[in-house]
Amino acid sequence: MSLSNNKRILLFTFSIIFLPIKIWAAANITYTLAMPQPQTHYFEVEMTFASPQKDYVDVKMPVWTPGSYLVREYAKNVEGFTASANNQPVRFEKINKNTWRIYSQKVPQVKINYKVYAFELTVRTSFLDAEHGYANGASVFMYPDGLQKEKSEIKVVPFKDWKVVSTALAPASESQPFTFQAADYDEVVDSPIEIGNHNVWQFEVNGVPHQVAMFGESNVNKDKFLADLKKITTTATQIMGDQPINRYLFIIHNTSNGGGGLEHKYSTTLQVKKWNYASAAGYNSILSLAAHEYFHLWNIKRLRPAGLGPFNYDAETYTNLLWVSEGFTSYYANLIVRRSGFQSNEQYLNTIAKEISDLENTPGVRVQSAAESSFDAWIKYYRPNENSINAGTSYYSKGSVIGTLLNLEILQRTKGRKNLDDLMRQLYQQYYKKLDRGFTDAEFKQAAESVAGGKLDAFFNDYIYGTKTPDYVAYFNYAGLHFVNLNTNKPEASLGAKVSLTTGKQIVTTVLRDGSAWQGGLNVNDEIIALNGYRITDGVNLSLSGARAGQPISLLINRDGQMLTLEFPLVATETRRFEITPNEKAGKEQAAILNKWTNG
């Protein structure tokens, strides 16, 4: 629904004053963010700061952004760097990939100017075109080394036709529109800014104002969406029992392909498929994404592993616990959707069953542990290749399943009196509220054992630091549920490879560990031309329909221009398809456990 510019101005004014205004002392660092020619995709940045009393000062551009564990080299988009003091140019040089050394000669104040090319619309990067601007702090704003704890002020100068600026940053004052304040550089990085003529909507949760900055055409029903978003955020708050915010902002980009979300301390950015609001499955995926990012308010932005802060923006920071920070958040995203009334118990259990099916059909789940997956996020999760499915697992999906199992373990041991919610609240109160620091691996295990009422050595050794397949049947029986593999004793002969039609050619894209192709020597990027002497016209897997285990096959392939014939027998594999259903003979204690799990 389109709004007139006058209405947009009123909404923006509200978005400024709904945040508490603190009158700070003058900021030591000031930024001006301009975009005079948005069609060129360049932000123009000016930064001034009080220079330390040294002969030189280093200014840096982060190489990554918190919440997305990949070195992205944001400095690659910087152009036209200049430095001055007292309105006179000063000498500078670039001393490494993301650091500029300014020879300031102890002058009291330094000013730098530079441009940032921004044409990558993801939740982790920045974007600018003729329609809108999106500034993600780490990829736009530099910082003077050693002054990360200094207060900052950010003045946004929108393109002349744009009237709306949305950010979770607090306004600097009532008399300075589009000017915001940040307590330190971490807050600058953690507060993305949406600029343009987008719609701004609002709702409240327990008296706390929440806003939605909605960019892009979509088929959203505004009133329904806001009401449902309120249910999601209310349920998440009830789980944790504390609301650590005085404002919150959802920045939503409606795009053709979607793109996920990224959490921040007082906001999130979501990228969703613009036409997904009208279908049940699509709408549920949007609500689940919103639930995931909102739950990060507690789990990672405040309750965090010790490795995730303070941040070193120059290099990677490591933890074994992303299966908790991201995996448990995925677990709670599904649970929040259920507890908010958007799914029945049956639908929720179907979601869990599919999640486990997808996990257990990934060969890498028996190679890489949850802890290893977390630690290696920097080099594996964000850099997948054709063998990733065989060599690794996702700390999102594996962590979510571990969350389900640990919840059932706690429920069983405490006879339904406690669950995973109690563990999360205890950790939050102890390490965020009381100690204000991150927790270690050992401290997480100790907290889980204190809630469960006993040692969890086997659980952690087998499922977190090891790759043992859980006894799902036993775990779900705790809650009076049947856990069944619908494909048990139904192995099928298959090629054991994924083949896609690319420019009219059957190209191998994945070879699955220990399958027929793996053992027979078929490679990724091979073109399959013929099967058993007949040219492939309808897909190799369809041509193998009805084949038997042990049956020999002959493939004619093109490998980098060389024609080869591969002959090998087909191997029988079992694709797992799990189902979770209620046991009609479940006892009262089992029923109580199920109710405590799904309803809280």
**What does the pLDDT read at residue 359?**
98
Q: Degrees (nearest 5) of the Cα angle 407, 409, 414?
A: 95
Give the right CATH number for 25-165+183-196 from 2.60.40.3650, 2.40.110.10, 3.90.1150.10, 2.60.40.180: 2.60.40.3650
**What does the pLDDT read at residue 12?**
36
- High-pLDDT (> 90) share of the chain, %: 87
For range 360-367, the mean pLDDT:
97
Identify the CA nearest to 110 among candidates 77, 147, 138, 155: 147
* Band of residue 65 on the pLDDT scale cut at 50, 70, 90: very high
Would the pLDDT of 9 be above 80? no
User: What is the spatial distance between Cα 301 and Cα 139, in angstroms, rounded to a whole number?
Assistant: 19
pLDDT, tens digit, 9 for 90 and up, residues 102-134:
998 888 899 999 999 999 999 999 999 999 999
User: What is the spatial distance between Cα 332 and Cα 327, in angstroms, rounded to a whole number?
Assistant: 9
Q: Say which range, 370-374, 487-491, 584-588, has the weakest mean pLDDT.
A: 487-491
- The one-character DSSP state at 64 is -
pLDDT, tens digit, 9 for 90 and up, residues 329-347:
999 999 999 999 999 999 9
Give the right CATH number for 492-573 from 2.30.42.10, 3.40.50.2300, 3.40.630.30, 3.40.50.300: 2.30.42.10
User: What is the spatial distance between Cα 480 and Cα 339, in angstroms, rounded to a whole number?
Assistant: 19
Please give the structure tokens belonging to residue 142. Answer: 């530099």
Identify the CA nearest to 102 among candidates 148, 140, 56: 56
Would the pLDDT of 14 be above 70? no
**What does the pLDDT read at residue 26?**
67
pLDDT, tens digit, 9 for 90 and up, residues 584-595:
999 999 999 999
**What does the pLDDT read at residue 17?**
34
* Band of residue 23 on the pLDDT scale cut at 50, 70, 90: very low
Radius of gyration of the chain (CA): 27
* Band of residue 271 on the pLDDT scale cut at 50, 70, 90: very high
Q: What are the boundaries of each domain within the chain?
A: 25-165+183-196, 298-479+589-600, 492-573
**What does the pLDDT read at residue 25?**
56
- High-pLDDT (> 70) share of the chain, %: 96
Would the pLDDT of 47 be above 60? yes
Residue 178 region, left (φ>0) first, then alpha (ψ -120 to 50), else beta?
left
C-beta separation of 497 from 506 below 8 A = no
Considering only residues 86 and 511, tell me which one the structure prediction assigns the higher pLDDT. Answer: 511
**What does the pLDDT read at residue 54?**
86
For range 364-376, the mean pLDDT:
98
User: What is the spatial distance between Cα 78 and Cα 374, in angstroms, rounded to a whole number?
Assistant: 31
Would the pLDDT of 19 be above 60? no
**What does the pLDDT read at residue 11?**
35
**What does the pLDDT read at residue 1?**
36
Which residue is associated with the tokens 């999760």?
Answer: 381
pLDDT, tens digit, 9 for 90 and up, residues 410-459:
999 999 999 999 999 999 999 999 999 999 999 999 999 999 999 999 99
User: What is the spatial distance between Cα 108 and Cα 64, in angstroms, rounded to a whole number?
Assistant: 30
Mean pLDDT value across the chain: 93
Q: State in words which class domain 298-479+589-600 has.
A: mainly alpha
For range 405-410, the mean pLDDT:
98
Query: Which pTM value belongs to this model?
Result: 0.94
Helix, strand, coil tally for the chain in percent (to 5): 35, 30, 40
For range 460-487, the mean pLDDT:
98
**What does the pLDDT read at residue 21?**
45
Would the pLDDT of 229 be above 50? yes
C-beta separation of 146 from 52 below 8 A = yes
Would the pLDDT of 22 be above 80? no
